[in-house]
Amino acid sequence: MRGRGLGLGVLAVGVVLVVGLHLAAQQGVAATAPATDKYAWLEDVSGDRSMAWVKAENARSAKVLETDPRYAEYLSEATKIAEDPRRLATPDLEGDDVYNFWQDAEHVRGILRKTSIAGYMTADPKWHTVLDYDALAAKDNVKWVREGMDCLYPEDMDCMAKLSAGGEDAETDREFDLKAGTFVEGGFVLPHSKQDVAWVDKNTLLVGRDWGAGTMTKSGYPFVVKEWKRGTPLDSAKEVFRGQDSDISAGAYTLNDAQGHSLTVFYRGVTTFESEEFISTPGGMKQLGIPKKTEGAFLLDGRVIFTINEDWTPAGLSKTFKQGSLVEVKLANVLKDPEHLKPRVVFEPTAQEFLAKVATTKTRLLVTTLDHVQGRAYVYTPSAEGWTRKPLPVPENVSVDLVSTNNLDDRFVLSITGFLTPSSLWLGDAAKATMTLAKTQPAQFDASHDVVEQREATSKDGTKVPYFVVHRKDLKYDGTNATLLNAYGGFQVSETPSYSGNIGKLWLEHGGVYVLANIRGGGEFGPAWHEAGLKTHRQQIYDDFAAVGEDLIARKITSPSHLGIMGGSNGGLLMGVEMTQHPELWKAVVIQVPLLDMLGYEHIAAGASWVGEYGSVSVPAERAFLASISPYEQLKPGVKYPEPLIFTTTKDDRVGPQHARKFAAKMEEFGDPFFYDEIIEGGHAAGADLKEKAKTWATTYVYLSRKLMD
């Protein structure tokens, strides 16, 4: 129902988007590095030989890109955008207070701060610092990166602060009193590990972590959950649930509602998109009779609400619930008979409208959807007969997102954004289905000369693939426009319009065209759109992307000599595939924190987590397909490839820098030119702080300008 909330981070153009996904099981024989891989030595992440190679490649590329006449200007602009004191302070509602994590020139690692809701609604809120991460890093002599907090319902004042050294997924957790703004003396402390925490009550935690030999999966995540009582040693914690080492991970979470109901659920993430859920009963652990492909569990008014990503005919019923539906089951039924539930539909997708996000307030359910990739939002009210729905007033042609909800009342915050529409935050009352404008992002670039269009390309198999084009109103259709095409295409992640100062200031203002493609593999048209590109069907994703590029050329928006592409993480794999399959289509390729060695990915970092998405080399048919698309395998001597910019971070312990390094080294062997940029901190992102991120984007747009505009 919940699954393991890690998954691939998406390094998008101008922003970093981290998406929680289920993880995958390593199936069959454990993958190991091929014996013939001459660049396996670069997999030694921090080894002297590896780091010497990294430093040399960084210096060689920086000598070109950072001496470009545009670099100083781009870096200045990107830094101003990143550190702009007027940018939106994203709110987290807690009772009558608003919390916000903030970074700027003075707070490089950031501060957690708070103000009242009334204060937040003013033009100049008076913020109070709750936790200073810069001060903490200096005190501990550790380059801490904030990873959020796990807090005890309902007041959310007792928290476990999650601290990452340099941005890696492994973390140190320390108990923090949010009300007092101090770490709890003698409180809970969990040392460095990939780990999950769930509060049972003020004195009890459920913890999944590295407990020693035989407690971590082949994917590198915990599968043993223990109950830890306050005041006792960590090693005395009692085991209460165990998955299997072939799982992605196992853990626990607690659902609560404002009416006083609660439910603790234990789960096994058995594949990338499948999990098994259990509850503790007097007769032992009982598995819930729900589909394995479920996600996003909530509890409201004694109803357990979740999304099903596969068609479901519940035990004892003849009715089939449609894939992509939001359904509810009564908590009383769950507790009485976990295997035989009596679900009801809350939301069912149509041919064009699909579920995007769900959240709860004290008495209401909030739902956002995508209607042909256009944002919609609704308030659902529970009743004895079912649910009533009322739309929220949001504009057309924008993206809508649920930012925060309040468990103690019906307030919520919704964001509205578009390519040319500065993001705005709206404070809403779910009980009244009303919204009030709270904040609007000041314009970060001049959009007065630009326009957004939505077009369609026809893929190789005839599928219509929508894409957005952002361009000047006076665009000349002569094939000379510098065009940047971006997509992700995996893990059911939906790519929607969003406002980016970097895209606007460093690209659109200089006359560039920006394109966002909604290719298969994403979630823009529900689970089926994602499943169409799973495992050995993945070539359809790559065909979709190429079709959009060819459509841009056919419309004379651009031409191969002016067309560049960019993507990160799974999108970085997409870039590598497009570069090796269609080198003639692109002039520039930006490959960010990528997967590229698809025959070896299962043994690199958390790679075994994604077998459900990509397939496994232990399955002959899947191995053959992976070999056919793997950029590292398909890179051949004597082919004229575009000169790419390859970006990664040393501290990325999710995908790992190994892919980028080995791909670049093979290009070097073949005498193919490339640019390389590997920063140390940042994890699976563009950097650990605002200045580092600004430098990444300045380097990126200098590269794109050199390739597509000169």
* pLDDT band, residue 605 (cuts 50/70/90): very high
Task: Supply the DSSP symbol for 135.
Answer: H
Q: What pLDDT was estimated at residue 2? A: 37
Asked if the model's pLDDT at residue 211 lies above 70, the reply is yes
* pLDDT band, residue 7 (cuts 50/70/90): very low
Q: What's the mean per-residue pLDDT of the chain?
A: 93
Indicate the domain borders of the chain: 9-25+54-80+444-708, 350-441
Which active-site residues does the annotation give? 569, 684
Q: What pLDDT was estimated at residue 31? A: 40
pLDDT digits (tens, 9 = 90+) for 151-167: 999 988 999 999 999 88
Pick the CATH number of 9-25+54-80+444-708 from 3.40.50.2020, 1.10.357.10, 3.30.310.160, 3.40.50.1820: 3.40.50.1820
pLDDT digits (tens, 9 = 90+) for 542-564: 999 999 999 999 999 999 999 99
Average pLDDT over residues 43-67: 97
Average pLDDT over residues 70-86: 96
Q: What pLDDT was estimated at residue 4? A: 28
By the 10 Å C-beta count (0-12 exposed, 13-18 middle, 19+ buried), 400 is classed as buried
Residues 229, 209: contact at Cβ < 8 Å?
A: no
Average pLDDT over residues 421-442: 96
Asked if the model's pLDDT at residue 144 lies above 50, the reply is yes
Give the predicted TM-score (pTM) of the model: 0.91
- Comparison of pLDDT for 400 and 682, the residue scoring more: 400
pLDDT digits (tens, 9 = 90+) for 343-392: 999 999 999 999 999 999 999 999 999 999 999 999 999 998 899 999 99
* pLDDT band, residue 682 (cuts 50/70/90): confident
pLDDT digits (tens, 9 = 90+) for 236-278: 999 999 999 999 999 999 999 999 999 999 999 999 999 999 9
Q: What pLDDT was estimated at residue 35? A: 57
pLDDT digits (tens, 9 = 90+) for 484-536: 999 999 999 999 999 999 999 999 999 999 999 999 999 999 999 999 999 99
Relative to beta strand 196-201, strand 189-193 is unpaired
What is the three-state SS of 393-447?
Answer: CCCCCCEEEEEEECCCCCEEEEEEECCCCCCEEEEEECCCCEEEEEEECCCCCCC
Q: What pLDDT was estimated at residue 9? A: 32
Q: What pLDDT was estimated at residue 208? A: 98
* β-sheet with 365-371: strand ranges across: 353-360, 365-371, 374-383, 386-391
Pairwise CA distance, residues 452 & 472, whole Å: 9
Cα dihedral sign for 494, 496, 498, 502?
positive
Average pLDDT over residues 269-296: 94
High-pLDDT (> 90) share of the chain, %: 90
Pairwise CA distance, residues 568 & 575, whole Å: 8
Q: What pLDDT was estimated at residue 420? A: 96
Task: Supply the DSSP symbol for 236.
Answer: G
Checking phi first, is residue 29 left (phi over 0); if not, alpha (psi -120 to 50) or beta?
beta
Q: What pLDDT was estimated at residue 15? A: 31
Calculate the alpha carbon distances from 169 to 135, 303, 333, 588, 652 in Å. Answer: 22, 33, 37, 31, 8
